[in-house]
Amino acid sequence: MDAGIFCETRPGLQQKMDLLWLIAYVFLAGIAIVQSLLVAINVYEHRRRALIRLKKLSYYAPTGRVHVFSPCKGHDTNLEENLWALLTQDYPDYEVTFIVEDASDPACQVIRRAMAACPQTPARLLVAGQAEDCGQKVHNLRMATADLKPEIRHLAFFDSDSRPKPYWVRAAIYKHYLPQIGATTGYRWLIPQKPTVPNHLVCAINCNVMAVLGRDSHHIVWGGSWAIRRETFEQLNIHQAWDGMLSDDLVASNCLRRSGLKVRFDPACVLTSPVDFDWSGMFDFVRRQYCITRHYAFRWWLLALAAATVGNLAWLSSLGLLACTIFGERPSAWLPTVVLGVLYSLGFYRGWAMQSLAAVYSPENLPELRGVRRWHIWASPAVALVQWLGLIASAFGNRVRWRAIDYRLGTDGRVLFKRILVP
């Protein structure tokens, strides 16, 4: 192999070092290209399955009574519309429990209005009280699921800052007739409330994460949109597993993984969720997501960090090598140029394929998603770089801020300390 790509021919040790650096670069670039190709294949499968599944909604038949649990806090954007959408599902046999920390929470008034507007759906408001040694959301869910009615066959969980489609309940429990399916999950499709760069970046990063979800979710549950059979919930003792924890979904994910049951990702369970961040809030959000993952799903966090590191180092080293060959007046610039071209093309396809699903997941928000589309398709390396920085930041510290509460986590994910922040 020609070491002249790095420098002119030099005698002895320097020439050998140049050759070793070239071999290392080729190895790194090869891994990055293979990795990007695998992600592109997974994105193709995600897109293909989403288009197929959403054409088969008529097959999602009722299979028993469902109890939906929705923790609420504060006045989220479009909260009343979200709750109304939850209370008007096209499922004939379900009930809803809204859970708040305190009766003075401004969400209570909105919840009562929504319940009054939809009397056809049995619903109640539960005041859970303040959590002591776990996350507030986990505490709310433990209180709500402590005493289930005997006729309940399925449990579904919904985040109140999201908007469900009318068929969400049907889709969430449809595959539960299969004994190997332990749970069904969806994911969030973020909608920027303002056309700012931080909002566009975080929405594109969220699509990158969503892109790895194909037919299966790799045993990962997203807590804002998932459902489980009542018997599975009780057999795996998820209610007790939540005790002392911050994350509800990743704890449930670990229980399902250890049992050997599959978690099925269903595109029909994808929910739209509005976001509005400045730069600081955007980085804090990304870091928090990955920090929680590090504590509860370390292997997945490590895999994400390794993949992001390989991809970004391949980009940065290719740009540096290209600059050296151009400004050093050396002729061998073809290798980094080819690597950059291949990586950019695969990133371009990934962004295009995922953003083409905006018309499927959120057709009513296409105008707001134009900026996300531009960043995800044309500036995929910048999106990947910001995502990598968030992953690196999540490797340090054990404190996270969530819904105006500071938590400190132990190595096992248990909440060691919590402090309520003054608004």
Q: Tell me what pLDDT residue 53 has.
A: 86
Separation of alpha carbons 38 and 42, rounded Å: 6
Confidence of residue 22 (pLDDT cuts 50, 70, 90): confident
Residue type, 37: L
Lowest-pLDDT choice from 144-153, 206-215, 272-281: 206-215
pTM value? 0.92
239 burial type by CB count under 10 A (0-12 exposed, 13-18 middle, 19+ buried):
middle
For 125: left if phi > 0, alpha if psi spans -120 to 50, otherwise beta; the answer is: beta
Statement: residue 14 has pLDDT above 80: no
CA angle 181, 236, 416 (to 5 degrees): 120
1: pLDDT strictly greater than 60: no
For domain 54-187+222-277, the CATH architecture is Alpha-Beta Complex (3.90)
- The answer to whether the beta carbons of residues 348 and 378 sit under 8 Å apart is yes
| pLDDT confidence of residue 386 | 97
Nearest Cα residue to 238 out of 249, 224, 222, 223 = 249
Q: Are 223 and 249 in contact (CB under 8 A)?
A: yes
Assess contact for 70 and 161: CB atoms under 8 A. Answer: no
pLDDT in tens, 213-229: 877 767 899 999 999 99
d(CA 261, CA 148): 23
Q: How confident is the model at residue 58 (pLDDT cuts 50, 70, 90)?
A: confident
Residue boundaries of the structural domains of the chain = 54-187+222-277
| pLDDT of 208 over the 50 cut | yes
pLDDT tens by residue, 96-139: 999 999 999 999 999 999 999 999 999 999 999 999 889 999 99
Residue 408: is its pLDDT beyond 90? yes
